[in-house]
Structure 1
Amino acid sequence: MHPEKVCRERLRVLTDLPNIGKAGAADLVLLGITLPDQLVGRDPLQMYHDLCRLTQQRHDPCVIDVFISITRFMDGEPARAWWCFTEERKRLVASA
């Protein structure tokens, strides 16, 4: 079995995800995500907009970077630091 697949199968709580601590996990729970595998196929930009709507505040755009990092990771990509997705987020937001 591929090592990264094993790693993903061992994820039990949201804080097991790369780039997710207690605050990030709390944001995910607000979105109705309680298990890492619930991130598969999710749209990180929509997650961000939903979080802003639910909390009635605009969150730092870097939250989008984190959401991209964890959705990509759960979709099978290697774990990468959230700031690796900043340029992609800027392009994504500009085109939305």
Structure 2
Amino acid sequence: MNPAKVDRQRLRQLTDLPNIGPAMAADLRLLDILQPAQLKGRDPYQLYTALCQRTGQRHDPCVIDVFISVTRFMAGEDPRPWWDYTAERKARWQEG
């Protein structure tokens, strides 16, 4: 969902989260995350690693940015576009 349209009071399904559409929701379900609340306290880098292992392929590193955005949102931060986290990810995580 577009971060500007997120309503924290209406988080019932994964696609109610900022930056999560059907494809990313499917990726989260592969990780046994079925509800937004299950993202509280999760590490976005571990989620990415688990997704790559589960699917047997390396996903675009921008997926980490999306995972950062939703885990931070669930920790109480305001919703932000996923690309706001790209510089942070690049500074922390060396891409292959």
Give TM-score scaled by structure 1 length.
0.89
Tell me the equivalent position of 1:82: 82
User: What amino acid is the match of 2:14?
Assistant: L
Pairing 1:40–2:46 present: no
Alpha-carbon distance between aligned partners in 2 of 1:35 and 1:92, rounded to the nearest angstrom: 28
- Equivalent position SS for 1:38: helix
Code of the aligned partner of 1:53: Q
Moved over 3 A (4+): none
Partner Cα separation in structure 2 for residue 26 and residue 46 of structure 1: 17
Q: Which residue of 1 aligns with 2:14?
A: 14
Question: For 1:39-63, what per-residue CA distance to the aligned partner results, in whole angstroms no more than 9, with x for missing partners?
Answer: 0000000000000000000000000
Unaligned runs of 5+ in 2: 1-6
Partner of 2:3: none
Paired residue secondary structure (2:93)? helix
Q: CA deviation at 1:92?
A: 1.8
How many positions carry a matched residue from both structures?
Answer: 88
Structure 1 or 2: more helix by fraction: 1
Identity score, percent: 66
